[in-house]
Amino acid sequence: MPAEDTLRFARAWAAQDPDPQTRGETEALLALAERDEPGALSRLRAEYTGRLAFGTAGLRGELGAGPLRMNRVVVSQTSAGFARYLLERGAQRAGEQPSIVIGYDARRNSDVFARDAAELMAGAGIRVFLLPEALPTPVTAFAVRHLGVDAGVMVTASHNPPRDNGYKVYLGGPDQGSQIAPPQDSEIAAHIDRVAADLLVPELPRATDYTVLGPELLDAYVSATAAAFPQPTPPAGERPLRVAYTAMHGVGSAAARRVYAAAGFPEVCVVPEQDAPDGAFPTVSFPNPEEPGALDLAFRTARECDADLIIAHDPDADRLAIALPDAEAPAGFRALTGNQLGLLLGWRSAEAHRAAGRTGGALACTIVSSPALGAVARDYGMAYQETLSGFKWVSRVPGLVFGFEEALGYLVNPELVRDKDGISASAMALDLAAELHAAGRTLWDQLDAATERFGAFESGQLTLRLGSVAEVEAVAQRIRTEPPTAFGLVPVVQLTDLLEPGHSVVPANVLRFDLADGSRVMIRPSGTEPKLKLYLDTFSDAGSVAERHASARAALAALTAAAEALVAAVRPEAPAAG
């Protein structure tokens, strides 16, 4: 872009920005560029050329000025464009007035962005319901179905760093409250682009005649979620299950604790430093329960209250981590992997489905999650589907009873919420743990029981980090054109390329290698980061529980070594094969 065009665009951007802070950031950079300060024009070009991509998760990015960041201009343009999409969709349904529910978490500017979205939507002619306070993402997802609205927006960046925020989109009606999926994302993005090109933010109509919901919405979510896990009265003298809980500075604590109380679970022991919402996340470097060190305070609290189990939610409470006592772990507790908890909750869901006299139904997980859920589905005569990554796909599986992804996402009650829900998943985990506790057993024992019934499954990951996304794509293409015929001594019996038609709902840059011993390797570029990710899974059903674990772990070690050799061979600096 020529220098004058860049300056003109940045001036126009600053002029329409309603936020004094981000407007000041643009004006300060403009002043430097206009004085020909070294590097200022290059920085202006880099930060004001292009647009924050609107995709199947909506928007997510760093807070700041300009079209590539999360700010009030971008949110306003996005809301006006999404409103046009909903009006166009409504016109196809006999002129009904579209409706939307908007929620937000406690991150910086979440409430501001939510109000902007509400005003822009109302000004465009959409019937708007705004949540009354910062609440978990699952409550917004629940509201889409509960209120019967056409769409939902949740302002959150989930477990991202403190500097980020996002704009997550759901659709009601035939989409049943699921996240948007292609081609809906590109259709909405086209409307957003037209709004940004045609109108300045002050020219977009706004209105304040939207409905701010009262406490009845959260009451309904709590009641419906708790009703699925009613607790029997424990025998007199029985020590109740002791639970430590962390909200990770997010918005999950009040809602989760209300659900537990309504279901009849004992009161939890909270991590005091992390219980109140705080968008700065002062006690963790990265507010994700999977990150090293994120659970340290939870481990301390659990030791202090002699807990049998730890529940950890991410800041918007759509993800769940569970940790259990482990004498061999340095902190005295060890977290279950996402795959381990997915197996336990999937088994629990299948058993409840059968006990209720229901037949059919489906279990589902993402393609990079453990195939253990497939063994559960076969055992219970249920359908099983592996979807592309993301709950926009998991939630759309026909007849879904339970779905999960290995990154701590679980959908345990699809009739209420068509997205991952860390609160309802934690209630199911508590329900199972309490039943086991009453019988003198633990979730570790249940994992052994799963191994005895379904076999031992082990999972691992490798990540190849490169200098750019383009380099990662090139490496993936090299593997595609020169695929390995074996990993170590184990032959590849089938290669599935999800870019080819018929293998997935939409083409995906994923390679699946099925090996002769039942192992599996999935290879995919990150898509947003310069990383190539390899997901490794092994299996054994021979011998005792201990022997099965040992065999699967040995196979995983061998498969990891073979995958590391492949990664070393395909790095850009490696010589070409042959």
| Phi and psi torsions of 191, nearest 5° | -65, -40
Q: Give every CB contact of residue 164 below 8 A, 6+ residues apart in sequence.
A: 60, 61, 62, 63, 70, 107, 157
What DSSP letter does each residue of 393-425 carry, written as one string? HHTTSTTEEEEEETTTEEE--TTT-SS--HHHH
For 439, the token pair is: 């019988």
Which residue among 79, 99, 110, 158 is the active-site one?
158
Neighbours of 470 (CB within 10 A): 10
List, in order, residues 6 or more apart from 349 with CB less than 8 Å away: 363, 401, 402, 412, 428
Q: Are 487 and 513 in contact (CB under 8 A)?
A: yes
Which of 82, 97, 107 is closest to 169 using CA atoms? 82
Return the structure tokens found at 517.
Answer: 């011993």
> Residue 430 belongs to what H/E stretch?
helix 422-438
Alpha helix segments (H runs only) across 181-322: 184-198, 216-227, 253-263, 296-304
Please list the residues that pair with 325 across neighbouring strands: 333
**In the block, residue with structure tokens 């000025």:** 65
E strands, 156-208, are 164-171, 178-179
Tokens representing 529 are: 């980061």
Nearest to 390 by CA among 371, 372, 407: 407
The residues, ordered by sequence, that sit 6+ positions from 250 with a Cβ below 8 Å of its Cβ are: 105, 106, 136, 277, 287, 313, 314, 315, 316, 317
Cα radius of gyration rounded to whole Å, the chain: 25
Residues 289, 308: Cα–Cα separation, whole Å: 18
Tell me the H-state helices in 455-576: 469-481, 545-570
The amino acid that residue 404 corresponds to is F
Alpha helices in 17-172, H assignment, sequence order: 20-34, 40-48, 72-91, 110-123, 137-147
Whole-angstrom CA distances from 315 to 21, 137, 167, 286 are 25, 9, 15, 11
Sign of CA dihedral 72, 75, 78, 83: negative
Verify whether residue 544 is a known catalytic residue.
Answer: no
Catalytic residues, by residue number, are: 158
